[in-house]
């Protein structure tokens, strides 16, 4: 059941990204200093303020992007879960694959899962 909830939270992350919906994206993330995000080609951003600002910048002039997610594996250890997957980008950035790792933590009070870390790295065709 917990892995289903984490997988659902992960799905909501990509839906918010595709829709360029900052409110939905903000609702999904843990709003703390431990929030960490590395977009492909970017330096690592630490802290909710910087992470949120990155999505604001990305969504201000959004590219049409659709994610086709493949090779997704979810793992759970207590109140921490992580998903590794390939993001196959379609649309304005078509033909790009990004290897991603998304980490979620469970709020002990509500039981809700929040993203605490996203890391994406471009995959080069010769390394697949």
In tens digits, the chain (128 residues) has pLDDT values of: 799 999 999 999 999 999 999 999 999 999 999 999 999 999 999 999 999 999 999 999 767 788 999 999 999 999 999 999 999 998 776 678 999 999 999 998 999 999 999 999 999 865 55
pLDDT at 91: 76
What pTM did the predictor assign? 0.91
Domains of the chain: 2-127 (3.10.450.50)
DSSP state of 66: E
DSSP code per residue over 10-34: HHHHHHHHHHT-HHHHHHHB--STT
Tens of pLDDT, residue by residue over 34-59, are: 999 999 999 999 999 999 999 999 99
d(CA 86, CA 24): 22
């Amino acid at each position: 059941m917990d892995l289903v909830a984490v997988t659902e939270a992960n799905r909501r992350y990509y839906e918010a990204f595709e829709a360029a919906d900052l409110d939905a994206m903000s609702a999904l993330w843990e709003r703390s200093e431990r929030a960490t995000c590395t977009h492909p080609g970017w330096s690592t951003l630490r802290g909710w303020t910087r992470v949120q600002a990155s999505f604001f910048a990305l969504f201000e002039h959004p590219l049409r992007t659709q994610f086709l997610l493949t090779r997704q594996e979810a793992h759970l250890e207590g109140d921490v879960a992580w998903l590794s997957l390939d993001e196959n980008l379609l649309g304005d950035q078509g033909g790009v694959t990004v290897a991603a790792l998304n980490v979620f933590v469970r709020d002990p009070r509500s039981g809700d899962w929040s993203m605490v870390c996203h890391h994406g790295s471009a995959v080069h065709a010769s390394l697949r």
